[in-house]
């Protein structure tokens, strides 16, 4: 993890949250940065990103949706036609453009965005990054009927998630300012923890 990053502890998500949410100075400081969420596919980045954007009255962008708007087809179809390497190049272009925007935004990245060093550099230089750490076993249960994520359309999605976690977890931690563990929690609980972590960080 980057310097001065830390992991939120369990059981403290309610303390001081209402006071911080009403602190106009904290929100002014907050909007000096993009907020980027990283994590495995199915870790809740889009759901939690929408919650945070609403809470802080900031725009929200799902990078995968932005990519599909850019390429004019689904990511699954693009993967099938062009392959993963070409997709990663497009992902890099779209992410860089989003992070270059002057209006500060909550950004839900794709699960593999951290694979390219250029993306990690962009994230580190232009955003506060939150790693939504989640158990591959829980994600596999959550996504058992998913048909849209190309890398999980395999005979054993759990094994694929375990393999992805082994490769990507160190990269998520490398780029993260905050790590929020979500295993056993609802999306709302995880979102509250993320909000508290970032809001407290504005006062540190």
Binding-site entries for Mg(2+) = 46
CA 66 to chain centre: 14
The 3-class SS string of the chain reads: CCCCCEECCCCCCCCCHHHHHCCHHHHHHHCCCEEEEECCCCCCHHHHHHHHHHHHCCCEEEHHHHHHHHHCCCHHHHHHHHCHHHHHHHHHHHHHHHHCCCCCCEEECCCCHHHCHHHHHHHHHHEEEEEEECCHHHHHHHCCCCCCCHHHCCCCHHHHHHHHHHHHHHHHHHHCCEEEECCCCCHHHHHHHHHHHHHHHCCC
Specify binding-site residues. 42-47, 64, 88, 111, 149, 168
Specify binding-site residues for ATP. 42-47, 149
For residue 55, report the phi and psi dihedrals to the nearest 5 degrees. Answer: -60, -40
Rounded Cα distance between 17 and 138, Å, is: 27
Specify binding-site residues for substrate. 64, 88, 111, 168
Residues 6+ apart with CB under 8 A from 183: 133, 134, 135, 138
């Amino acid at each position: 993890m980057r310097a001065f990053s830390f992991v939120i502890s369990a059981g403290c998500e309610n303390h001081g949250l209402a006071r911080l949410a009403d602190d106009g100075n904290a929100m002014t400081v907050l909007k000096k940065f993009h907020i980027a969420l990283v994590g495995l596919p199915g870790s809740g980045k889009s759901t939690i990103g929408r919650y945070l954007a609403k809470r802080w009255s900031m725009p929200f962008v799902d990078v995968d949706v932005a990519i599909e708007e850019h390429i004019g087809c689904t990511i699954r179809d693009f993967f099938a036609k062009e392959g993963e390497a070409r997709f990663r190049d497009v992902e890099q272009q779209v992410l860089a453009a989003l992070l270059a925007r002057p209006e500060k935004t909550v950004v839900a990245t794709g699960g593999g965005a951290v694979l390219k060093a250029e993306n990690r550099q962009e994230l580190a230089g232009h955003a506060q990054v939150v790693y939504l750490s989640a158990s591959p076993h829980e994600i596999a249960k959550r996504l058992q009927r998913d048909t849209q994520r190309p890398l999980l359309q395999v005979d054993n999605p759990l094994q694929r998630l375990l393999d992805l976690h082994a490769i990507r977890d160190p990269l998520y931690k490398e780029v993260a300012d905050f790590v929020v563990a979500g295993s056993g929690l609802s999306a709302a609980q995880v979102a509250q923890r993320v909000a508290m972590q970032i809001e407290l960080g504005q006062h540190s």
